Amino acid sequence: GAVVSQHPSWVICKSGTSVKIECRSLDFQATTMFWYRQFPKQSLMLMATSNEGSKATYEQGVEKDKFLINHASLTLSTLTVTSAHPEDSSFYICSARGQTRDYGYTFGSGTRLTVV
């Protein structure tokens, strides 16, 4: 079945630094990927839609200059949290849907970001 690999699974960084999270579709091509953020005991909140070869579409209230998304190939999308601050600490999850997948979306395992 469709597999989405997300790395790293957890990362700790200092305030003011940038962190890159990778999301790869392993056995299918994903022209569109989605990035979510999830705070403890809360639901997933859609941050942006990543489109291969074009600019990402950000949800209202999400700072595009802070959360840089690059979707340079059909199998890789990256989310870079720039100048991270403690309030950016969260669980980040990507998802993708292959061209031929009939049922649902496949999600990555998530990345736990802690900014200290």
Partner 1 sequence: LAKTTQPISMDSYEGQEVNITCSHNNIATNDYITWYQQFPSQGPRFIIQGYKTKVTNEVASLFIPADRKSSTLSLPRVSLSDTAVYYCLVGMNTGFQKLVFGTGTRLLVSP
The C-alpha torsion from 73 through 51 and 65 to 112, rounded to 10°, is -70
What phi-psi label fits residue 13: left (phi over 0), alpha (psi between -120 and 50 degrees) or beta?
A: beta
Pick out residues in 42-71 that bind partner 1 (CB under 8 A): 43-46, 49
Min dist CB 87 to partner 1, Å, is: 19
C-alpha span between 38 and 9 (Å, rounded):
14
Chosen residue from 19, 93, 113, 115 binding partner 1 by CB under 8 A: 93
Q: Is 78 in the site for partner 1 (CB under 8 A)?
A: no
Q: Is 6 in the site for partner 1 (CB under 8 A)?
A: yes
Neighbours of 49 (CB within 10 A): 16
Binding segment for partner 1 (CB under 8 A), chosen from 14-22, 26-34, 71-79, 80-88, is 26-34
Chosen residue from 77, 79, 81, 108 binding partner 1 by CB under 8 A: 108
Binding segment for partner 1 (CB under 8 A), chosen from 12-20, 61-69, 73-81, 94-102, is 94-102
Q: Is 31 in the site for partner 1 (CB under 8 A)?
A: yes
> Is residue 86 reached through a cis peptide bond, with omega within 30 degrees of 0 on the bond before it?
no
Are 26 and 5 spatial neighbours (Cβ–Cβ below 8 Å)?
yes
